[in-house]
Amino acid sequence: MASEKKYDIGLMGLAVMGQNLVLNMVDHGFDVAVFNRTTSKVDDFLATEEARSKGDKLAGAHSLAELVGKLKSPRKIMLMIKSKDAVPAPELALYPENAAVDAVIAELLPLLDQGDVIIDGGNTQFKDTERRTKYLAQRGIRYIGTGVSGGEEGARRGPSMMPGGDPEAWPLVKPIFQAISAKVGPNGEFPCCDWIGDRGAGHYVKMVHNGVEYGDMQLISDAYWILKNALGLSNAELHDVFAKWNESELDSYLVEITRDIFTVDDPETGEPLVDKILDAAGAKGTGKWMSQLALDLGTPSTLVTEAVYARAISSMKDQRVRASKVLSGPNAQRYQRDKSEFIGQVKQALYASKICSYAQGFVQMQAAAKEYDWKLDCGKIALLWRGGCIIRAVFLERIKEAFDADPNLENLLLAPYFKAAVESAQPAWRNVVKTAIELGIPAPGFSTALTYYDSYRSEKLPANLIQAQRDYFGAHTYLRVDKPGEGPFHTDWINVKK
Ligand code: 6PG
């Protein structure tokens, strides 16, 4: 009797991302078994024309045990489960939205053998991934937490993947992950997927990807709002501006979709759809995590933080409507000088601010690597983000080159290419921020980026006064510029005055 067919990998969680990853894997020659807690989804998926066309390369399971039984050893099981799939967790995850993964791990453990691999492909807070990798390693199970970016289309055609966890698991999944991921390079020779590092490193890097995505989106929105309000550009004109920008150093997925958004009309009213959308931005939380973790590390990731706050203030729509009737500012005015010159300046403000945002993201990753004991290769990360993911952009090539030239680069702003780019953009950038302030147009991304730049390039900052105040009211002590290596010092500020 022929033995039952065994599959290369199992995937649990058949929402669109999960389905598309499965189809992508099969297209690349892998045999995949699938399972979903609501088992009707398994049957529905297998009944789709696309799934049926895959023949016996795809099989369904109606329980975790059945899924496990269908896999080649060592088994590889990828979880693409969403928070709403949550069932009571056996041990509380640090982040309750990730508790579903713990519940599945608890169910899987008795079914698996030593050396089998569990992969979490969701947007998980990295501390949960750190914990799970250690917990499972003690039980002989290899764990991977991987970022998967690119949305539904990316999952189907080639995502950017950022795996981290148990390094012994990497060779086992590498052929599958690198085959399905996006490819970049002159001949498409570089897969946008490589090993990031131990334990939660992959999920940390994916979180930074998302935080940088928040920054990019806010900066593009700053540009949009200034062009619309200071110059009065129409949606058609905005389309043309973003189309041109997308053929420059700003060439990126987010600029490209922004360009296209301005051309889409609402099927109901025939008017531009973007103008029908309520100006209250949602957020699932990865940007907030990056900001919280930046605070923990003491690294100034001000772009993502400002972007999270900008979404928060946008969501206070009712309050803003009330405040707009009460609080005054400059009356709606237009920029009076050369319009096309100003459009060029906004572009430069966007580019310079974007450089600051990425600089902050890489600084945070380097600080996290020290704190959590990972070895991160920043050039490699830039390459993984070059294709497939939401922040994919031509400009990431320059970042890779900068880290290749100096793997210990302290800050991207110090790399010759970026230093020159920001320097040449500076007058325009300042004029755009100044104009936004004069006209009363909020530009949180542009202005926080410029403040970061000015602070970072300042040999001296007014923190001497803060130290004096802290020492005055709380005897918190200070160090002296004229006595390096000595101290700390304290002054009795009240009595010394007399
Ligand atoms: C990706 C995206 C994705 C993210 C969404 C929603 O890399 O494909 O980053 O992972 O979840 O963009 O994020 P927010 O709801 O927080 O904006």
Digit-coded pLDDT (tens) for 469-492: 999 999 999 999 999 999 999 999
Indicate the Cα dihedral angle 382, 383, 388, 391, nearest 10°: 20
Digit-coded pLDDT (tens) for 289-319: 999 999 999 999 999 999 999 999 999 999 9
> How far, in Å, is the centroid of ligand 1 from the Cα of 289?
13
> From CA 57, how far away is CA 8, in angstroms rounded?
10
Q: Which residue in the block uniquely carries the two structure tokens 């995502």?
A: 159
> From CA 243, how far away is CA 251, in angstroms rounded?
9
| Whether residue 92 has pLDDT greater than 70 | no
Indicate the Cα dihedral angle 7, 10, 13, 19, nearest 10°: -50
For the Cβ of 151 lying below 6 angstroms from any atom of ligand 1, the answer is yes
Report residue 394's pLDDT band, with 50, 70 and 90 as the boundaries: very high
> Half-sphere exposure (CA, 13 Å, Cβ side) for 207?
27
Q: Where are the beta strands (DSSP E) in 197-286?
A: 197-198
Report residue 335's pLDDT band, with 50, 70 and 90 as the boundaries: confident
Q: Tokens representing 416? A: 């010759």
Spatial CA neighbour of 422 closest among 351, 479, 471: 351
For 387-423, letters b (16+ CB in 10 Å) and e give bbbbbbbebbebbbebbeeeeebeebbebeebbebbe
Just list the catalytic residues.
206, 213
Pairing of strands 76-79, 117-120: parallel
Indicate the Cα dihedral angle 387, 215, 412, 462, nearest 10°: -170
For the Cβ of 287 lying below 6 angstroms from any atom of ligand 1, the answer is yes
Percentage of the chain exceeding pLDDT 70: 96
Digit-coded pLDDT (tens) for 40-67: 999 999 999 999 999 999 999 999 999 9
> How far, in Å, is the centroid of ligand 1 from the Cα of 210?
6
Contact (Cβ atoms closer than 8 angstroms) between residue 385 and residue 391: yes
Spatial CA neighbour of 406 closest among 416, 396, 397: 416
> From CA 279, how far away is CA 320, in angstroms rounded?
11
**CB 384: neighbour CB atoms within 10 A?**
32
pLDDT of 100 reads: 87
Contact (Cβ atoms closer than 8 angstroms) between residue 6 and residue 72: yes
> From CA 428, how far away is CA 422, in angstroms rounded?
10
Tell which one of 390, 391, 392 to mutate to probe ligand 1, the residue whose CB is within 8 A of the most ligand atoms: 390
What pTM, to 2 d.p., does this model score? 0.95
| Residue of minimum CA distance from atom 2 in ligand 1 | 149
| Residue of minimum CA distance from atom 4 in ligand 1 | 210
DSSP classification of residue 440: T
Report residue 95's pLDDT band, with 50, 70 and 90 as the boundaries: low
Q: Which residue in the block uniquely carries the two structure tokens 């009076």?
A: 336
For range 196-204, the mean pLDDT: 98
Q: Tokens representing 420? A: 């020159």
For residue 191, whether the previous peptide bond is cis, meaning omega lies within 30 degrees of 0, is no
For the Cβ of 282 lying below 6 angstroms from any atom of ligand 1, the answer is yes
Q: Name the region of 371 (left: φ>0; alpha: ψ -120 to 50; beta: rest).
A: alpha
Pairing of strands 197-198, 160-165: parallel
Collapsed DSSP state (helix, strand, coil) of residue 93: coil
Percentage of the chain exceeding pLDDT 90: 92
Which residues contact residue 249 at a Cβ distance below 8 angstroms, ignoring those fewer than 6 apart? 351, 394, 395, 421
Q: Tokens representing 285? A: 């939380």
Spatial CA neighbour of 454 closest among 433, 479, 482, 478: 433
Q: Tokens representing 295? A: 């605070």
Report residue 165's pLDDT band, with 50, 70 and 90 as the boundaries: very high
> How far, in Å, is the centroid of ligand 1 from the Cα of 388?
13
> How far, in Å, is the centroid of ligand 1 from the Cα of 470?
41
For the Cβ of 212 lying below 6 angstroms from any atom of ligand 1, the answer is no
Tell which one of 148, 161, 213 to mutate to probe ligand 1, the residue whose CB is within 8 A of the most ligand atoms: 213
pLDDT of 334 reads: 87
